[in-house]
Amino acid sequence: MAGAASSAQEWVRRSVMPNGLAIITLDRPQALNAMNVDMTALYKKYMDEWSTNNKVHAVLVESSSPRAFSAGMDVKGVAAALQKDLEMPMIPEVFSNEYKLICAIARYPKPYIAFMDGITMGFGIGISGHGRFRVVTERTVLAMPENGIGLFPDVGFAHIAASTPGHGAVGTYMAMTGAKITTPADANYLGLGTHYIPSTKLESLKLALLHADLSSNALNAIEMLLEGYKVEPETESSLKPLLPAITACFGANLSIVDTVDALKQHQASDDSAVAGWAKGALAGLAKGAPFSLCVTKHHFAAVAASTNADQKDDLSQIEGVMKIEFRLGIRTSTRPDFIEGVRAVLIDKDQRPKWQPGSIEDVDMGDVKAVFAPFETPADELKIPDTVA
């Protein structure tokens, strides 16, 4: 355990600058800054300490490598542990640590800035997409590919997706297909990015943040700096003109079968852009585990409906979403699809997973709804403070 702790300290480095800017630097480039359980716990420890430290006025999160901000959770490590023992106590700890950190970021009392430079996927979006300031560059690649390894797009992405255009349809499309968002214009359109700043300007921006006066009004000072550095994307959003098609195929009122049927119809569109998009979306769905796709559709539809309703309930808040996802994370990770997905995509890389069940039509929706049910023992539920925004 001592070795793991020391590795975490090397991979999640911290510093507090004289002007009160606290910095977390992710430094595990060989793994694209994939976050393991020790790294996540250390990250949360730093955030908790800084939240009540009067000498800290803002937090900046960055990567030591231009290739990736963070590729997500260390799924290989989790899958390896599960192969040894499906009852591993580490599994609830993994998801609990992640989801509590996400809630802390979403409700952080001080300005939180993420430099989402390079690959930003899965848990990488979890530790950036819920923050106040989300800086994207021309190198940013955003994706939620979890269906392709037999899990589901978690880290509260359903909460983010619910506020995307089309009453959440664009975010649901991204989650279900694993589509990569590779342009600043699309990142901004989705709401994942708040500021597009070219990568060549990041170091200058960081220096400006280090020398800014954050003592009296850190939020205002940071907003002014970011506004001064941001630029308009060089291209228009490719997703914006596709919004009618995306909404028609990924609306919250549609079942997974409805979605597939609608995409097949749009694949025959006279509009080549729509037809090409539908073809790519179908190819993305084909890579996902059928059970995971059904879980994703059910979850994202419920969160979108709650978020966009006049009367809000628990699912309109990040805490409520994370409590549901804790159940889903534990239950989907212990199904055969997860270990098989990691094998096919990340280990053997044959890209030919054998899912159970093998098709959407064979998925029992009763089994899908069962993974959302409360645990038999209330003490097993995720414990986080309820906060109303």
Sheet holding 141-143, edge to edge: 68-70, 119-121, 141-143
Question: pLDDT (tens digit, 9 = 90+) per residue, 204-252?
Answer: 999 999 999 999 999 999 999 999 999 999 999 999 999 999 999 999 9
Q: What is the band of 2 on the pLDDT scale with cuts at 50, 70, 90?
A: very low
Nearest to 299 by CA among 252, 263, 262: 252
Does pLDDT of 133 surpass 80? yes
Q: What is the per-residue pLDDT across 23-48, written as a single tens digit (0 to 9) for each?
A: 999 999 999 999 999 999 999 999 99
Contact by Cβ (8 Å): 98, 123: yes
SS3 call for 288: coil
Percent of the chain with pLDDT over 70: 96
**Alpha helices (H) in 86-143, listed in sequence order:** 90-106, 123-126
pLDDT of 389 > 60? The answer is no
Round to whole Å and give the CA distance between 96 and 114: 22
Tell me the pLDDT band of 86, cut-offs 50, 70 and 90.
Answer: low
> What confidence tens digit (pLDDT) does each residue in 337-385 have?
999 999 999 889 999 999 999 999 999 999 999 999 999 999 999 998 6
pLDDT band for 259, please (50, 70, 90 cuts). Answer: very high
**Per-residue pLDDT, 154:** 98
Instruction: Judge contact between 120 and 138, C-beta under 8 A.
Output: no
Per-residue model confidence as pLDDT tens digits over 298-315: 999 999 999 998 888 999
- C-beta separation of 28 from 8 below 8 A: no
Task: Tokens 């500021």: give the residue.
Answer: 195
